Amino acid sequence: MKSTYKDAGYTYTINRLQETAKTFRNLGDVYGETNQKENGFRRQLILVADILEECVAMNLNARVPERPKSRILERRCMAMGIAVKDIKILDGKRREVLITAKTFMKGCVSERILRGIVSDVFGIRFFSNQNNRVIINEEPDQYVFYQEDRFRILSGMARKCKESENTSGDNFLLKRLGCGKMVAAIADGCGSGKRAFAESRMVIELMESCIEAGFEERTAIDLINSAYIAGTNFNNPVTMDMSVLDCQAGVINCIKLGAVSTFIKRDNWVEIIKSTTLPMGVLEQVDYDCTTKKLYDGNYVIMISDGVLDNLSGVNKEEQMVEIINNINVKKPAAIAKKILDASLQNHNMEAFDDCTVMVLGVFDTYVNV
């Protein structure tokens, strides 16, 4: 009887999601017919419908592992005092394993033990969802494990406020997504100080919320720009520099709104990704550049705010930055970021002309030498 109730609840939830998706899609169609000039809001409604339908498809396509592997997993977990059930596998660009687990008694077991067993049984290295509980106890809970990415991303930061301010107008986002991507972004508020900080923080927080909700990056930018312009408290432009790294394919998409160049340090040269767009909050129809590049083992992606270039003298500041990057011989991203910032400040008597942020992402191929 309990199983029937559970199945009924599951079916009810799926049906509700499908009906909600259908409602959002119909609203988008109606809005598009009555407001031909405003297609941004229609796209956002349709996107919500797409996300809900994707969630439904993922749940319906989840499969149960082969019985022999299920038995091995259950026995090995039992030996460690863990009871597991409702084991599901999602096969996409990378595999996901969902398990409901608890301990037999009132004792506690580290979640890392369960992750190790899952990796051994399926023959693939997994890492934990950030929302997994660190400890497994007598209360059953769902644990989600993702197949490890081919490319490992290490990051480092270096920052400095404008000399006359105590608060930086720059904010940043560095987030690993469950779909096998990593998002890195720098938002630079107009000017410096608390107001610029508040404006850039709002943009970064909205971007993080949209990405967590499953919005595609470009659509998220459209949505945030509309919300930013419609707001009454924030009127100054904000630049946005966002890099989306596919950790399986080793591909980066650089999306820029009024941001300065991004630099990719290759083996023996530095590639520059330029942009001529306007910041967020200037035009109702957001203007941005998107550039796609392939990354290889040992490459470094270097993102900076405009204050880092402003410290440099002369006209060809980007070429000066390339020279600075080429002269760096350390490997750790944090050390690279610090050396870039220090080299920039040395051109301005170690004082920051404007808020400075340097973000470095090191890309390492785990398949090399395997």
pLDDT digits (tens, 9 = 90+) for 307-328: 899 888 878 899 999 999 999 9
pLDDT bin (cut points 50, 70, 90) of residue 216 is confident
Please check whether residue 24 is in contact with residue 32, taking contact to mean a CB–CB distance below 8 angstroms: no
| pTM assigned to the model | 0.74
When the candidates are 3.40.50.620, 3.40.50.970, 3.60.40.10, 1.10.3470.10, the CATH number that belongs to 151-365 is 3.60.40.10
Res 142 pLDDT > 70: yes
pLDDT band per the 50, 70, 90 thresholds, residue 208: confident
Residue whose tokens read 């410290």: 311
For the cut 60, the answer to whether the pLDDT of residue 6 exceeds it is no
Cα–Cα nearest to 141, from 150, 151, 131, 156: 131
Which is more confidently placed, 14 or 234? 14
| Predicted pLDDT of residue 32 | 64
Any alpha helices (H) in the chain, and if so which ranges?
2-34, 40-61, 67-79, 111-122, 193-212, 217-230, 306-310, 317-326, 333-346
> Tens digit of pLDDT for each residue in 108-128?
999 999 999 999 999 888 888
Task: Classify residue 298 as left (phi > 0), alpha (psi -120 to 50) or beta.
Answer: left
